[in-house]
Chain A
Amino acid sequence: MKLERIIREHYARKIEAVVAPAVSAQLPRSHGAQSFREGLLFSMAFHAAIAFLCVLCLIRAGDLSPLGERIGKVAADHSFDLYLEGRIADFTRIVQTVRHQGK
């Protein structure tokens, strides 16, 4: 396997050194913006999933009132942060759910 590894590394170095300047000039220029958009979309989807899980926890934790209040407050804070960062649209609904569970 060592032979395969040194040959693979040799080609990788050669491509970087010899090909990169020629090809980089020809690559589409939008890749930076595209990577940013993809990263942002993934981040938004991830945080939306976290918020959804928080809501599910709230609904379940409503059976245990003091715990439900604590979880509700944490979820509300988290939801508020997410809202401030513009990643959750329906903050009002979540807050109402938290208040309802806390009663």
Chain B
Amino acid sequence: MELASDRIYIAVQLALGKDGRERAFDRICRVFGREIYFYISTVLPRHGGHIDDCYQEAMLRAYNGLERFTPGRPVRPWLYRVAHNCCVDFLKSDRDEPLEEVPALPVSRDSGPEEELVRRELADAIDASIALLPADEARIVYLRLYGGMKFREIADVLCMNESTVKTRFAAARRRLRDDLKEWL
């Protein structure tokens, strides 16, 4: 997750010019790489073979975009916006690949078999519930609950009205709460 020290480091490096941009990009990859990759995989669930391509394209655009990036601006919303636009461009190009199987979550070594079974059932229930959400609502849930982004920032990433984001998040939250009530 992004820390204040990461924000300060990136802002300082971007102010230093070309060499600083390399270091800022290095830090951006380390801090945000995984969650951006995961986000792309949720937007392109049927294009497993091209998630890597889309991720690399997104990070390349981010690297090129750093030249115009204002130091001190929040990086996360901007990066998600770049990744989301990359996914939209990819979907528009209408590539079609067979579904790639997503590997199952590994067994946790710290928990016993009963806890592991409960954890897997909960994970399956959450996956099933999120899969039933409309795509926009699922993305809003991810950006809000995992990304920790404000509604305004989510609206900027997804090119939506802020009030629309709030409404859809509330609707998604209600559905999730109903589906997962036995776990709460």
**Interface positions of A (Cβ within 8 A of B):** 2-4, 6-8, 10-20, 22-23, 26-28, 30-31, 34
Chain B residues within an 8 Å CB radius of A26: 29, 33, 52, 55-56
Chain A residues within an 8 Å CB radius of B106: 17
- Of A4, A14, A27, A34, the contact of B105 (CB 8 Å cutoff): A14
- Of B52, B56, B122, the contact of A6 (CB 8 Å cutoff): B122
How near does chain A come to B117, taking the closest CB pair, in angstroms? 15
- Of A3, A10, A15, A20, the contact of B123 (CB 8 Å cutoff): A10
Contact A19 B177 (CB under 8 A): no
- Of B37, B103, B122, the contact of A23 (CB 8 Å cutoff): B37
**Interface positions of B (Cβ within 8 A of A):** 23, 26, 29-30, 33-35, 37-38, 41, 51-52, 55-56, 102-103, 105-106, 122-123, 126, 141-142, 145-146, 173, 176-177, 180, 183-184
| Interface SS majority for chain A | helix
Contact B177 A3 (CB under 8 A): yes
Contact B34 A20 (CB under 8 A): yes
Assembled-state Cα–Cα distance A12/B105 (Å): 11
Which residue of B is nearest A2, CB measured? B184
How near does chain B come to A2, taking the closest CB pair, in angstroms? 5
How near does chain A come to B182, taking the closest CB pair, in angstroms? 12
Contact B102 A18 (CB under 8 A): yes
A-B contact count (CB 8 A): 73
Contact B29 A8 (CB under 8 A): no
Given A6-B122, A7-B141, A7-B145, 8 other A-B residues pairs in contact with their CB atoms under 8 A? A2-B184, A6-B126, A7-B146, A18-B105, A22-B51, A23-B55, A26-B33, A34-B26
Chain A residues within an 8 Å CB radius of B123: 10, 13-14
Could you name 7 residue pairs across A and B whose Cβ atoms are closer than 8 Å?
A6-B180, A7-B146, A8-B146, A19-B38, A23-B55, A27-B29, A27-B33
How near does chain A come to B22, taking the closest CB pair, in angstroms? 9
Given A3-B176, A13-B105, the answer on whether A28 and B34 have CB atoms closer than 8 Å is: no
Chain B residues within an 8 Å CB radius of A12: 146
How near does chain B come to A38, taking the closest CB pair, in angstroms? 9
Given A4-B145, A6-B180, A28-B30, the answer on whether A19 and B173 have CB atoms closer than 8 Å is: no
